[in-house]
């Protein structure tokens, strides 16, 4: 927890007690501050000295702190707390530590922290060599008390060491006890290495390309405040257009002073174009349309290689073949007969199949729900929108094992997940029958890399939740509609499951997933499911036309409410999904015209945000903090724009969609594309246990068309915390496989990417007629 800085002198009551005994201090100049104003200590200098500890305040989790296996670290209160088991012998039997702390020989350091124990205990605080012989540069024995104290020690490092360890050794007690630590700080030495991303030329473009008839915008990072000349050159270096930039001031999402370039009137297709301004030349880009056609396919092909429960065919995906994961074959312990967490249920379920959520091996109903929904709605859109081209999503378009079965491949892929969601429903006759288990995953986190079939952890079903149940109701109702022409029995099975789930959710409206249930998998907790109720009711109504669901829709606070969140829709905020469906799927809803008009209102708001944004993003949270997976929120806001285009035919909405993708594909502060294989510099090391080429050259990178989560201001992972401290939102990203908070891939992020890629591919050169509406 962040608290005001400690005073420069130590109040007597905060002087660590027993400190002289603590000075078993390693050989070295470890000295303890014993009195207010101790002269050995130069407070002013220390206050300015660089901080070497990452995340000593625990305001956002506790990474990169680690604990020994007998500990569960809890930072939910803003301090780092842990129950220390009794019955251990040595101090080092229980440790909380942080690695990779840099020390410089001859420099003096000040080590401070707040500590509290219940009951009182003496702990050990060390700064040491992380390996045998564990030489201690500071060793202190703080007497931790129930009331809590601040502790300060100084020492001079005898060594240059890039990877010292800060460790609290807390073992050796017969009785169990609890400890809380906070505001851990080690100041002194050299400024930590500042990570400077290579952002290349200061002219930022969509590195893939622009549609010939679409808008064409770029951004220049410059110190100039007045307009600058710019030149557009073709692949042969010929000057084809020139003009002047528009100064836009300082963009708060990047901290950069920027100008924009508008070259939308230039329409000639070609490859290798560049833009030059302020003495810098952009990375090359095309003017054309085929790249979105390719992305429509690639973004969907992503799902086959995320499949659980089946071998991935190397013939279908060269370089990506792997054995089936979690099919009840050792060393896997799942997923054909999976028990619940202890005490949660007395049965096992076959929950094999589905897609792995992300870079982990977990499978989560809430997140699977929005993902499969968006694939099905991408399909639904293609059959109804004026520019829709359903045959582009038809049979034999994705090279799947099911290709050739006369069912559109996008639906074959969606079915793989929907079958899994159905399996997560609590069977009849069991407690909470009809609800869906929230998730299934390993009972503790696995490391990287780890191919799915090699995961040997115990798999567990987690308690049913209302949110999961409503995700099942919504997607099963939608599947009943969408699959009806192709497989009547499957459609009926879905409809029955949807109705059962709906009834169960109504009977258990507030069973929320536990936010602390995050060991071995994400929590995906959500304490407001009124939006999931709205979405599920909408799908059930659209499929059945039944009064019960229609009345629920009309009475929901979300129906007349403002569902167009500034941050966007996502797995935990699904009201907009319901609204978009009610606006686009035919029905007799009495206020359907108003519902359709509301989509344009939402789109106008996102468009206003985009227009005001120097990088052209329909996302600019008032607190200027980018969310985990910001790219998916950005692309989801583009879905609202795209739907407004489908409903109204107004070009400005389509233009907004295209400009949004410019950001995703390179027109951004980092000058990189967030889609693997698209753009000269693109994300390729997304956090994944099997596309882990960065860790093992025998493994592949993520497949072409994989979206990275993108900038995340909260930088919860150690790599981001070490490299990106203090980052402006757009800079809170690193293409490193260990940066799970900024650089993961997920099924719910590729879903809006594929939806938007299909929408844009449907626009031909950017001027496709919108006839059907």
Catalytic (active-site) positions: 687, 735, 744
Choice between 296 and 326, CB closer to ligand 9MR:
326
744 binds ligand 9MR (CB under 6 A): yes
Tell me the sheet residues that pair with 465: 436
Shortest gap between Cβ of 441 and ligand 9MR (angstroms)? 8
Stretch that binds ligand 9MR, among 86-94, 518-526, 589-597, 652-660 (CB under 6 A): 518-526
Shortest gap between Cβ of 570 and ligand 9MR (angstroms)? 6
- Residue 54 structure tokens: 């990452």
Stretch that binds ligand 9MR, among 95-103, 330-338, 355-363, 547-555 (CB under 6 A): 355-363
The runs of H, that is alpha helices, within 266-408 are 290-301, 365-384
Stretch that binds ligand 9MR, among 243-251, 357-365, 402-410, 546-554 (CB under 6 A): 357-365
Q: Are 209 and 74 in contact (CB under 8 A)?
A: no
Helix orientation angle between 592-612 and 575-584, rounded to the nearest 10 degrees: 120
Sheet with 246-251, strands from edge to edge, namely 203-204, 217-221, 256-262, 246-251
Q: Can you spell out the DSSP letters for 230-247?
A: EEEE-TT--EEEEEE-EE
Shortest gap between Cβ of 366 and ligand 9MR (angstroms)? 10
Q: Pick from 371, 746, 754, 770: which binds ligand 9MR (CB under 6 A)?
A: 746
358 binds ligand 9MR (CB under 6 A): yes
Q: Pick from 523, 625, 681, 695: which binds ligand 9MR (CB under 6 A)?
A: 523
Strand pairing of 363-364 and 143-144? unpaired
Stretch that binds ligand 9MR, among 1-9, 276-284, 519-527, 551-559 (CB under 6 A): 519-527
Shortest gap between Cβ of 69 and ligand 9MR (angstroms)? 21
553 binds ligand 9MR (CB under 6 A): no
# of chain residues touching ligand 9MR (CB under 6 A): 12
Q: Pick from 325, 522, 578, 702: which binds ligand 9MR (CB under 6 A)?
A: 522
Q: Pick from 143, 150, 357, 604: which binds ligand 9MR (CB under 6 A)?
A: 357
- Residue 527 structure tokens: 């304490």
Shortest gap between Cβ of 628 and ligand 9MR (angstroms)? 4
End-to-end CA distance of the chain: 54
Shortest gap between Cβ of 523 and ligand 9MR (angstroms)? 5
Residues 6+ apart with CB under 8 A from 56: 113, 182, 183, 184, 185
Tell me the sheet residues that pair with 80: 181
Binders of ligand 9MR among residues 183 to 222 (CB under 6 A) are none
Choice between 358 and 482, CB closer to ligand 9MR:
358
719 binds ligand 9MR (CB under 6 A): no
E strands of 399-449, at which residues?
Answer: 436-437, 439-442
**What are the CB-based long-range contacts (under 8 Å, 24+) for 488-491?**
490/415
362 binds ligand 9MR (CB under 6 A): yes
Shortest gap between Cβ of 333 and ligand 9MR (angstroms)? 19
Choice between 286 and 744, CB closer to ligand 9MR:
744
Q: How many CA atoms lie within 13 A of 481 on its CB side?
A: 24
Residues 6+ apart with CB under 8 A from 296: 392, 393, 754, 757, 758, 761
E strands of 542-628, at which residues?
Answer: none
Choice between 531 and 744, CB closer to ligand 9MR:
744
Binders of ligand 9MR among residues 614 to 643 (CB under 6 A) are 628-629
Kindly list the distances between the CA atom of residue 690 and the CA atoms of 268, 304, 371, 628, 698, in Å, as whole numbers in the listed order: 42, 14, 20, 22, 10
Q: Give the binding site for ligand 9MR (CB under 6 A).
A: 357-358, 360, 362, 522-524, 628-629, 740, 744, 746
């Amino acid at each position: 927890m962040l608290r005001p800085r400690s005073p420069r002198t130590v109040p007597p009551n905060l002087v660590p007690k027993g400190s002289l005994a603590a000075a078993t201090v390693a050989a070295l100049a470890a000295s303890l501050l014993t009195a207010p104003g101790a002269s050995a200590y130069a407070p002013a200098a220390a206050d300015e000295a660089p901080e070497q500890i990452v995340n000593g305040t625990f305001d956002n989790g506790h990474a990169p702190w680690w604990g020994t296996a007998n500990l569960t670290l809890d930072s939910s209160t803003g301090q780092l707390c842990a129950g220390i088991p009794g019955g251990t012998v040595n101090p080092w039997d229980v440790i909380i530590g942080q690695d990779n702390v840099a020390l410089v020989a001859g420099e003096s350091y000040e080590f401070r922290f707040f500590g509290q124990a219940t009951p009182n205990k003496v702990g050990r605080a060390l700064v040491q060599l992380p390996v045998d012989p564990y030489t201690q540069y500071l060793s202190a024995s703080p007497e931790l008390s129930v009331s809590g104290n601040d502790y300060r020690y100084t020492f001079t490092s005898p060594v240059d060491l890039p990877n010292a360890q800060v460790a609290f050794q807390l073992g050796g007690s017969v009785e169990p006890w609890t400890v809380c630590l906070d505001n851990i700080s080690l100041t002194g030495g050299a400024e930590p290495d500042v990570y400077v991303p290579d952002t290349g030329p200061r002219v930022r473009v969509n590195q893939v390309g622009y549609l010939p008839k679409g808008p064409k915008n770029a951004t220049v990072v410059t110190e100039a405040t007045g307009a600058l000349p710019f030149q557009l050159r073709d692949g042969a270096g010929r000057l084809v257009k020139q003009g002047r930039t528009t100064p836009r001031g300082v963009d708060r999402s990047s901290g950069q002073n920027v100008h924009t370039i508008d070259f939308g009137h230039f329409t000639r297709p070609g490859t290798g174009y560049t833009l030059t301004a302020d003495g810098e030349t952009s990375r090359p880009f095309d003017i054309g349309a085929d790249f979105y056609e390719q992305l429509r396919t690639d973004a969907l092909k992503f799902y086959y290689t995320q499949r659980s429960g089946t071998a991935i065919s190397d013939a279908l995906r060269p370089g990506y073949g792997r054995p089936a994961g979690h099919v009840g074959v050792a060393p896997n312990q799942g997923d054909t007969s999976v028990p619940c967490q202890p005490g949660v249920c007395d049965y096992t379920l076959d929950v094999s199949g589905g897609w792995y959520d992300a870079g982990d091996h977990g499978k989560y109903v809430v997140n699977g729900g929005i993902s499969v929904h968006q694939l099905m709605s991408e399909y639904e859109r293609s059959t109804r929108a004026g520019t829709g081209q359903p045959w582009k999503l038809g049979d034999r378009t994705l090279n799947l094992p099911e290709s050739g079965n006369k069912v559109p491949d996008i639906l074959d892929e969606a079915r793989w997940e929907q079958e899994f969601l159905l399996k997560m429903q609590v069977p009849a006759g069991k407690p909470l029958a009809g609800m869906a288990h929230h998730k299934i995953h390993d009972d503790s986190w696995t490391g990287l890399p780890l191919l799915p079939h090699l995961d040997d952890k115990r798999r567990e079903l987690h308690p049913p939740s209302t949110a999961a149940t409503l995700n099942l109701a919504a997607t099963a109702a939608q599947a009943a509609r969408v699959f009806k022409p192709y497989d009547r029995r499957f459609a009926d099975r879905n409809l029955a499951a949807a109705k059962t789930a709906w009834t169960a959710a109504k009977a258990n409206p507030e069973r929320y997933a536990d936010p602390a249930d995050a060991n071995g998998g994400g929590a995906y907790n959500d304490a407001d499911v009124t939006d999931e109720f709205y979405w599920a009711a909408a799908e059930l109504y659209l499929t059945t036309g039944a009064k019960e669901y229609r009345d629920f829709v009309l009475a929901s606070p979300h129906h007349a409410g403002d569902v167009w969140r500034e941050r966007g829709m996502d797995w935990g905020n699904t009201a907009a999904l319901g609204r978009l469906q009610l606006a686009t799927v035919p029905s007799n809803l009495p206020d359907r015209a108003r519902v359709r008009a509301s989509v344009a209102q939402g789109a106008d708001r996102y468009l206003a945000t985009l227009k005001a944004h120097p990088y052209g993003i329909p996302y600019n949270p008032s607190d200027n903090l980018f969310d985990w997976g910001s790219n998916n929120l950005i692309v989801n806001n583009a879905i609202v724009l795209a739907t407004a285009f489908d409903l109204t035919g107004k070009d400005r909405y389509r233009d907004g969609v295209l400009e949004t993708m410019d950001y995703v594909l390179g027109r951004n502060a980092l000058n990189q594309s967030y889609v693997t294989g698209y753009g000269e510099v693109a994300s390729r090391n997304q956090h994944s246990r099997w596309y882990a080429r960065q860790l093992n050259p025998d493994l592949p990178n993520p497949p072409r068309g994989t979206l990275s989560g993108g900038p995340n201001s909260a930088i919860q992972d150690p790599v981001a915390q070490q490299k990106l401290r203090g980052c402006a939102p757009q800079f809170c990203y690193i293409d490193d496989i260990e940066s799970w908070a900024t650089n993961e891939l997920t099924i719910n992020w590729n879903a809006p990417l594929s939806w938007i890629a299909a929408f844009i591919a449907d626009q031909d050169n950017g001027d496709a007629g919108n006839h059907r509406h």
